[in-house]
Structure 1
């Protein structure tokens, strides 16, 4: 129980808020750049695995660029969510709550990351037609992920500061 002084100077008590997917989060004033960078790196890892896997599948099956990009984006979301779900399931959350937590924690971050990194790939001449065995493909992809990391980190810092995004995951770990 947390104690504080009320407006008239008397002591009031209130329970600390615990954020779950069902309860709104309190602001997280200690949101640091390090915390935001770690959250972004966590999302980027899942996204990168999903995107590369999607590109490998699309290329192996001879799909066009649109279909390959679609599966890469879908797998980026899947792996991004899976990384968070693995973490919160280990913290003891039931499956349904883990799914809700992953959606709350990662949707904005993954969306921003996917928009940015795919826009970079689309903007680099020849990158969409580069094959998996070409330097252009891997250099462009690494550059796109780096740009996405730089753009998404401030978004995650802002969200964590509001008690959203990866603050949801931190609250789950802290409450179990």
Structure 2
């Protein structure tokens, strides 16, 4: 189903596959980061426990991750019944991988889970963990795409959307550098 959008063959190897995996991961990272950050901010602001903070962040990461995939499809006129399986197939393993990695990093950084919203450690550990989780998820997405799964499922629709990938990449790189500097300084 093309819906009048430009559709290109999905690469199955080499640099083109890696580039596609990086782009897919950055798209996924945008949704994960929005949900993760919002969850941590809300949980920290209300003084929630570490377990509640992580749970809320994970739930919101999935909500925003699926949302960034679903909205362009819905705007293009696809039915919700068609969009849900596409979003689940294209994003679930990617989001899950990122969430395990970034929450593990934040949980093991000394005092990060106890840092307040005004603490550099809160923001540094969070941005660092998201950037590392994104980088670690690229091989997962690459393997999925090579098998016609993951982002390849959304690609089959010919419909793409979400924030500009170069912007997300620049923010991830800046988050990594900022986070690393904060972690080294603390």
Number of matched pairs: 151
SS at structure 2 position matched to 1:93:
coil
Specify which of 27, 41, 54 is matched with residue 39 of structure 2. Answer: 54
Q: RMSD across aligned C-alpha pairs, in angstroms? A: 2.0
Deviation (angstroms), 1:87 = 2.1
Identify the residue that residue 29 of structure 1 maps to in structure 2: 12
Identify the residue that residue 133 of structure 1 maps to in structure 2: 118
Deviation (angstroms), 1:62 = 2.0
Structure 1: where are the runs of 5+ without partners?
A: 1-17, 19-26
**Structure 2 CA distance, aligned partners of 1:133 and 1:38?**
32
Structure 2: where are the runs of 5+ without partners?
A: 2-9, 160-186
Deviation (angstroms), 1:28 = 5.1
Is the 1:109–1:152 Cα contact (8 Å) retained in structure 2? yes
**Structure 2 CA distance, aligned partners of 1:137 and 1:147?**
16
SS at structure 2 position matched to 1:86:
helix
Matched, 1:150 2:135: yes
**Runs (4+) of structure 1 moved beyond 4 Å?**
none
Deviation readout 1:35-64 (Å, 9 max, x if unpaired):
111111111111111111111221222211
**Structure 2 CA distance, aligned partners of 1:146 and 1:109?**
14
Is the 1:40–1:156 Cα contact (8 Å) retained in structure 2? yes
Is the 2:37–2:126 Cα contact (8 Å) retained in structure 1? no
Is the 2:33–2:61 Cα contact (8 Å) retained in structure 1? yes
Structure showing the higher strand proportion among its residues: 1
Structure showing the higher helix proportion among its residues: 2
5 Å-filtered alignment, 1:73-112, equals 73-112=58-97
CA radius of gyration, larger in: 1
Deviation (angstroms), 1:33 = 1.4
Question: What is the TM-score normalised by the length of structure 2?
Answer: 0.76
**Structure 1 CA distance, aligned partners of 2:150 and 2:33?**
19
